[in-house]
Amino acid sequence: AVAAGLLYAGYGLAVRQAMANYSSVAAFAAISQWTAAATGIAMLGFGRDHGASALALPAGQFGLLLLSSVIGIALGHVFYYMAMARLGVAVTAGVLQLQPFTVAVGSWWLFGQTLGGAQLATGVLAVAGAVLLVAQPRAAAADPSAKRSSVTSPRQ
């Protein structure tokens, strides 16, 4: 999980660097094209029936598949890129580490599934870490004696 978090933060840094001069929507459009090409090639090579099995779904399920792609991928990524532009990569990546814990809470609420002791403890650590990441810039801005960094954002 830590390696996945580090790699995802690296992805965030790469996206922010490459797309610094573009809007969140334009950045998503460009990255979507690259991802679609790579995923399409993988689907043709490794997918069941070379990807054609999705066409056999009933119309309602195929509609849900399309809807989930718009909500889960398109809107999720646009909001992610907007968050990176406004909050920075560190805060955005830190808050994203809460995703497994929030899914676990949702699973408990919807399905009655429970977390084990170690899972609950690491979830609390993730929430505390995200709170610290969000609170730190505000605390530094409120402290007039805090040393200001000379690093500037590419959007400034």
pLDDT for 113-148, tens place per residue? 887 888 888 878 877 887 887 777 666 666 666 555
Residue 151 inside a domain? The answer is no
CB-CB contact of 24 with 85 (8 Å) = yes
Structure tokens belonging to residue 152: 């500037």
Residue 14 inside a domain? The answer is yes
| 127 CB neighbour count, 10 Å cutoff | 14
pLDDT in tens, 34-74: 888 888 899 889 988 888 888 899 999 999 988 988 887 77
Select from 18, 10, 53, 50 the least CA-distant residue to 34: 18
Task: Please tell me the total count of domains within the chain.
Answer: 2
Triad 116, 131, 141: Cα angle to 5°:
170
Percent of the chain with pLDDT over 70: 87
Look up the domain containing 123 and give its range.
97-144
Average pLDDT over residues 110-114: 89
Q: State the pLDDT at residue 100.
A: 77
Q: State the pLDDT at residue 156.
A: 46
| 126 CB neighbour count, 10 Å cutoff | 20
Is residue 76 over pLDDT 90? no
Asked if 106 and 139 sit in the same domain, the reply is: yes
Asked if 72 and 140 sit in the same domain, the reply is: no
Give 30 or 138, the one with higher predicted confidence.
30
The pTM score is 0.53
